[in-house]
Amino acid sequence: MKTIIAFSDTHGAPLPQKLISVAQEADFIFFLGDGAYSLGDIMLNKGLKIVGGNCDVRGVLPDELVIEIENVRILLTHGHKYRVKHDLLALALRAEELGCSAVFYGHTHVARIDEQDGITLICPGSPCYPSGSAASYAFAAAYDGKITSKIVNIL
């Protein structure tokens, strides 16, 4: 089993200490865009995967990554290019096109987990600038071709 901590949309704010502590224990850290320049010591984590957001410098970070962890194929993206503030159809179709069963995305600042046509879509919200909910991140575990996830509020 491999553990994953995912978050996005920090926009340069300092990371909450609780998030830093939890991230240090995870096998993988996914940063899903908008504020990568302010990740500090988390940048040293060997399991760190980063995609760029609409507020990051274009062309420096990839728009999306596909990785496989414990036989789970995962798409990482910020989500702005898939209009995730309106609906998740384009994002789910992209995941299907790439053969992914899970997607981690950001951009909305709203934490949520959805299932669509066998694809798990996970938005961790924002640990610094949440929209309409508590500051949050996503915790996931991948094992034997399956992924489980939950949203964790930062108190």
**Beta-ladder partners of 50:** 31
Give CA–CA dist 79/56, Å, rounded.
Answer: 13
Q: So what CATH class is 6-153?
A: alpha beta
pLDDT digits (tens, 9 = 90+) for 58-76: 888 999 999 999 999 999 9
Residue 57: is its pLDDT beyond 90? no
pLDDT value of position 123: 98
Beta strands 111-116 and 119-124 are antiparallel
Give CA–CA dist 33/19, Å, rounded.
Answer: 16
Tokens of 54: 């609409």
CB 80 within 8 A of CB 106: no
Q: Within a 13 Å sphere around the CA of 67, how many CA atoms are in the beta-carbon half?
A: 18
pLDDT digits (tens, 9 = 90+) for 18-50: 999 999 999 999 999 999 888 888 887 889 999
pLDDT, averaged across the chain = 95
Tokens of 49: 């995967």
Percent of the chain clearing pLDDT 70 (strictly above): 100
pLDDT digits (tens, 9 = 90+) for 142-152: 999 999 999 99
Q: Where are the domains of the chain?
A: 6-153
